[in-house]
Amino acid sequence: MNLLIGLKSLEFIDGIYTALTSEEAADLQETCCAHGEAYATSAPGTNPRVCSDAKPPDDLDEEQVEPCIIAVKACCQKHIKKKKDCAAGMKLAPLKKCAVPKSDIGKICCEECSLGRWTGESQGKEACGDPPDEYVSPASALRKNAYHQCCTDQSDISSRKQWRVAQRLADMFWGRWLKEALPCLLPRTMKPGSEEDLQVGDVVLVVDPSSERGYWPRGLVEAVHPGADGRVRVADVRTSRGTLRRRSVQRLARLPTHPRGEAY
């Protein structure tokens, strides 16, 4: 059926072209085909049905419209097929299988995508350049778009990966600081039990392993609660986010203060 339609279309075109010189017919074919390729390039996706909406150029004579429409749609569908092959080749780039595509454009797009992925990962988005402009040929647009899209996508993935690594390192540092460094601020003496108890009005740093990273809760001791041996074991601490009740003194680090009671 498609072959029959194609033959009839060719007969129709030949009939129209008889009224034109060979040079005029070739120019018309080239102009209309380029118009169809440009339409396919700008059309989203790779569905050939989008070519049914393609229109011929406006500056045509009446007898040139019908053959031009046929050429526009035929070249549009041909270029849509190239876009589909290019997209399939780009998907093979992460797998390093650029020899797999059967079409030349598929192999070219795979290689361009591989180069773009390497550039984006190693040099960042700034090295990806600008997307292809409307003045390049459709084939060059496919090749350049494959490079630019893969480059920017990989740079985004690399940036997010580096961000996650940085966040993980910061979390690890914060966790170790809370466990290893902050407890060292607690007063220690050679003789166990000889250190001074916390008192009401002391400014303390709250040691809280569950606190968010970068938050340094500082508070003022409002009340102390001695144990059976008379030593202060827990205390109530007022912070900017509320009062912490019955906080163990093992989780409170007294801060040195000025004579007026303000922490350094």
For domain 189-254, give its CATH number from 2.60.40, 2.60.120, 1.10.150, 2.30.30: 2.30.30
Task: Kindly report the pTM of this predicted structure.
Answer: 0.57
Please state the rounded mean pLDDT for residues 187-206: 71
Please state the rounded mean pLDDT for residues 231-252: 84
Closest CA to 109 of 81, 137, 143: 143
Determine how many CB atoms are found less than 10 A away from the CB of residue 178: 16
Q: What is the pLDDT of residue 11?
A: 42
3-class secondary structure, 57: coil
Q: Give the list of residues 6+ apart from residue 187 with CB closer than 8 angstroms, or none.
A: 195, 196, 254
Q: What is the mean pLDDT of the chain?
A: 81
Higher local confidence (pLDDT), 89 or 248: 89
C-alpha 60 chain-centroid distance: 45
Please state the rounded mean pLDDT for residues 47-55: 89
Tokens of 59: 């500056």
Asked if residue 217 has pLDDT above 90, the reply is no
For residues 245 and 203, is the Cβ–Cβ distance under 8 A? no
CA distances from 232 to 170, 187, 198, 227, 248 (A): 35, 14, 7, 6, 9
Domain ranges, ordered by start, for the chain: 1-92, 103-185, 189-254
For residues 107 and 89, is the Cβ–Cβ distance under 8 A? yes
Q: What is the pLDDT of residue 190?
A: 47
The DSSP element (H or E) to which 219 belongs, if any, is strand 218-226
Dihedral of the alpha carbons of 152, 156, 158, 159, in degrees to the nearest 10: 130
Q: What is the pLDDT of residue 19?
A: 58
Q: What is the pLDDT of residue 232?
A: 85
Tokens of 194: 């000889």
CA distances from 209 to 80, 118, 129, 139, 214 (A): 58, 41, 46, 59, 12
Exposure of 239 in the CB half-sphere (CA atoms within 13 A): 19
Lowest mean pLDDT segment, chosen from 46-55, 183-192, 207-216, 249-258 = 183-192
Tally DSSP H helices, then E strands, for the chain. 5, 5
Q: Which of 76-80, 207-211, 216-220 has the highest mean pLDDT?
A: 76-80
Asked if residue 76 has pLDDT above 50, the reply is yes
Please state the rounded mean pLDDT for residues 38-58: 88
The DSSP element (H or E) to which 72 belongs, if any, is helix 62-92
pLDDT in tens, 120-167: 888 888 889 888 776 578 888 899 999 999 999 998 887 888 888 888
Higher local confidence (pLDDT), 21 or 89: 89
Q: What is the pLDDT of residue 17?
A: 47
CA–CA distance, 143 with 118 (Å, rounded to integer):
16
Q: What is the pLDDT of residue 9?
A: 44
Q: What is the pLDDT of residue 98?
A: 93
Asked if residue 242 has pLDDT above 90, the reply is no
Q: What is the pLDDT of residue 192?
A: 54
CA–CA distance, 33 with 47 (Å, rounded to integer):
18
pLDDT in tens, 86-129: 999 999 999 999 999 999 999 999 999 999 999 988 888 888 98
